[in-house]
Amino acid sequence: MRTRIHWAPSLLALAIASPAMASDLNINGFLSVGASMLDDNKASIAGADNQGGFKNDTVLGLQVQKQVNNSTSATGQLVSRGSDDYSTEAAWAFVTYAANDDLDLRMGRLRIPFFQYSDFLEVGYAFNWIRPPSEVYRVPFSSLDGVDLTQRFSSGSIDGSVQIYYGRFQGDFNTGTDVYASDYRNFAGLALTTNMGNFGTRLSYHQAEIIMDTTDTTTALGAAVGAAGAIGLVPDGVDVGTATGNTALAGLTGVGDASAAEDFNFTGQTSQFVEAALTYDDGTYSAVMEWTALEHESSLFLDDQAWLIGVAARIGDFTPHLTYTTEKDSFDSGKEGEIQKQLPLESEQSSIIVGLRYDYDSGTALKLEIQNNDEKTALGADGDSATLYSVAVDVVF
Amino acid sequence: MKILKHSCYILLIGLASSLANAEISVIVSNNNPNTAIDQATVGKIFLGKIKSFPDGSQAVPIDQNDGAAARNTFNSTILGKSSSQLKSYWSRLIFTGKGTPPKQSGNDAAVKQLVANNPNIIGYVDSSVVDDTVKVVHKF
């Protein structure tokens, strides 16, 4: 009896002292509820229309993380999006092996770390906007299956991380109007982030080989493939419609280069994604500048550049912010470019976003936002301008 | 004039005492070999940027509960962030699987006891509760 009493406290001490907090199960979540209304229906921003709606900015995420032992953990994150009829997707599902304090290896379903906000694109609480500007955040898929390796470093006043990954994305490429079955193979990339005092930088490069089904001629890309073929077959300068008897193609002029037209497909051509970002945050004032470029070997996607610049001020619990963002396509050189110019592919647009975030409790933010979007060119035609009014509540728990 | 001077002093003293927060001590177990840890290192440990003490042993930071006076002082002085800024910082790490915030571990007394029992844990408490069961490595 005596020994038992004697042992009990030291066993307890041992239990507390042994691998610090090893068997923890962490459950976290985020929820955004938003409503938005467009002032007219000619343009399209964030899936909104002029009847108002609550669905497009509504997102629920639930994450469970289990520390298996001192070096291994398992994490799963399920995300359900209003814009996707609340179907639920595993955005993340991976096992982490911490090789040491600063080196993590992960395997499974991972978010593609394209740009500054890509990793947490749907966690509204983590940024001031209701949604990151779609001019820059324009890649319509977000996760891949593969492996990544993150090395953290910290020396004096500088700290940061290097992340490299390799994997494959197989799934729907949803442009909002059409859905294509796609396969992004040999998807690989590198992201370098550094923080020094109030400044932060992020540089990243990504590439993938794209295979996409564009055989459905009722889709925009399928129709473009067919038209590109026709333009390539008809002699230079001759009206394609007259030459082929296909009235739908009337007004397009042939370039007489079938091999150029063959570049209008996705049979494993490489696409590259490049990003550079600079952030500043002194506690009161913050700013973000981000430049991105997409370069596609296939001529069916136009190369483009997009960037944003945003500033914000924290005044107590209120954070007013202002952002300018723009995206512009460019044509390939040579015959491919001549064909691209005749297809309804080109877009050029910019937005000004003015918003207010109110942190009314730690973990809950209320946001108001007005976005004026000016489409100079949309799918090769003159665009429209429109204003989107949005409100949202973002919660993390 | 004299009265004015006098009332100015009273005002100043009153102002000073309302501005001065209670002193906070960053504490580790007596079995932890580290003796002093500078503010920058304490900040990096609590933001998950480094995971070990200066001597190389594993560091596990623990927080006081949300809303505790010591926590607010610690956040604004050592980390230089408001509680909603910190929440935003941690949500970026939590939901990308890159880190978990320090565990909320109660008040001064609870934190002191956890620290005393585990050489890997680092916490902070109001200096008035510090006794010989723990070791102070930083004070502010």
B108-117 and A2-17 helices, crossing angle to 10°: 100
CB atoms inside a 10 Å sphere around CB A304: 19
Among the partner-chain residues A16, A26, A314, the one whose CB lies closest to the CB of B118 is A16
Q: Which residues of A touch B83 (CB under 8 A)?
A: 362
Residue A191 vs residues A143, A233, A277, A349, B41: alpha-carbon distances, Å? 15, 43, 11, 27, 25
Decide: pTM greater than 0.80.
yes
pLDDT tens, residue by residue, A107-166:
999 999 999 999 999 999 999 999 999 999 999 989 999 999 999 998 888 999 999 999
Residue B6 predicted with pLDDT over 60: no
| Chain A residues within 8 angstroms (CB to CB) of chain B | 13, 16-17, 20-21, 26, 28, 30, 61, 63, 65, 75, 77, 92, 94, 96, 101-102, 106, 111, 119-120, 123, 125-127, 150, 152, 154, 157, 159, 283, 314, 317, 359, 362-363, 365, 396
pLDDT at A122: 92
pLDDT at A46: 66
Q: Which residues of B touch A13 (CB under 8 A)?
A: 117
Kindly report the length of chain B.
140
pLDDT at A39: 86
> In chain B, which residue's Cα lies nearest the Cα of A151?
B98
C-alpha distance from A71 to closest chain B C-alpha (Å): 12
Among the partner-chain residues A94, A150, A362, the one whose CB lies closest to the CB of B84 is A362
Residue B9 predicted with pLDDT over 90: no
Among the partner-chain residues A21, A61, A102, the one whose CB lies closest to the CB of B103 is A21
C-alpha distance from A99 to closest chain B C-alpha (Å): 13
Q: Which residues of A touch B103 (CB under 8 A)?
A: 21
Q: B103 touching A, CB under 8 A?
A: yes
pLDDT tens, residue by residue, B91-140:
999 999 888 899 999 999 999 999 999 999 999 999 999 999 999 999 99
Alpha-carbon distance A281 to A206, whole Å? 27
Residue to mutate among A64, A165, A359, A367, with most B CBs inside 10 A, is A359
Alpha-carbon distance B118 to B100, whole Å? 19
Of the listed ranges A94-103, A113-122, B2-11, the least confidently predicted one is: B2-11
C-alpha distance from B88 to closest chain A C-alpha (Å): 5
Largest CA distance in chain A: 104
A43 Cβ partners below 8 Å, 6+ apart?
A373, A375, A378, A383, A384, A385, A386
pLDDT tens, residue by residue, A34-88:
998 888 766 667 667 767 677 778 999 999 999 899 899 999 999 998 888 888 9
C-alpha distance from A191 to closest chain B C-alpha (Å): 14
pLDDT at A85: 84
Distance of alpha carbon B70 from the chain centroid: 7
pLDDT tens, residue by residue, A271-302:
999 999 999 999 899 999 999 999 999 999 99
C-alpha distance from A183 to closest chain B C-alpha (Å): 24
Among the partner-chain residues A30, A159, A317, the one whose CB lies closest to the CB of B95 is A30
Among the partner-chain residues A21, A102, A111, the one whose CB lies closest to the CB of B96 is A111
A220-233 and A334-342 helices, crossing angle to 10°: 120
pLDDT at A56: 78
C-alpha distance from A77 to closest chain B C-alpha (Å): 8
What is the number of H-type helices and E-type strands within chain A?
5, 17
What are the φ and ψ backbone dihedral angles of A15, each rounded to 5 degrees?
Answer: -60, -40
pLDDT-based confidence at residue A31 (cuts at 50, 70, 90) = very high
Q: Which of residues 40-69 of B touch A (CB under 8 A)?
A: 40, 44, 49-52, 58, 60, 66
Q: Mark yes or no for CB contact B88/A94 under 8 Å.
A: no
How much is the average pLDDT of A383-397? 92
pLDDT at A352: 97
User: Six-digit token pair at A315?
Assistant: 């005044």
How much is the average pLDDT of A80-104? 90
Alpha-carbon distance B139 to B27, whole Å? 9
Alpha-carbon distance A239 to B45, whole Å? 69
Q: What is the DSSP string of A67-119?
A: E-SSSEEEEEEEEEEGGGTT-EEEEEEEEEEEEETTEEEEEEEEE---STTGG
Distance of alpha carbon A70 from the chain centroid: 32
Q: Mark yes or no for CB contact B49/A363 under 8 Å.
A: no
C-alpha distance from A363 to closest chain B C-alpha (Å): 6
Q: Give the ipTM of the model, two decimals please.
A: 0.84
Burial grade of A226 (CB within 10 A; 0-12, 13-18, 19 or more): middle
Q: B136 touching A, CB under 8 A?
A: no
pLDDT tens, residue by residue, A233-271:
999 889 988 888 888 888 889 998 889 999 999 999 999
Q: B83 touching A, CB under 8 A?
A: yes
pLDDT at A249: 87
Q: Mark yes or no for CB contact B87/A125 under 8 Å.
A: yes
Residue A26's nearest CA partner among A60, A76, A61, A71 is A76
Place of tokens 């489409």: A375
pLDDT at A157: 85
Residue A387 predicted with pLDDT over 80: yes
Q: Which residues of B touch A75 (CB under 8 A)?
A: 97
Range with the largest mean pLDDT of A177-181, A287-291, B36-40, B51-55: A287-291
How much is the average pLDDT of A317-343? 94
pLDDT at B14: 45
Q: Mark yes or no for CB contact A92/B60 under 8 Å.
A: no
pLDDT at A303: 97
pLDDT at B18: 43
Q: Give the DSSP letter of residue B69.
A: H
pLDDT at B130: 93
pLDDT at B4: 52
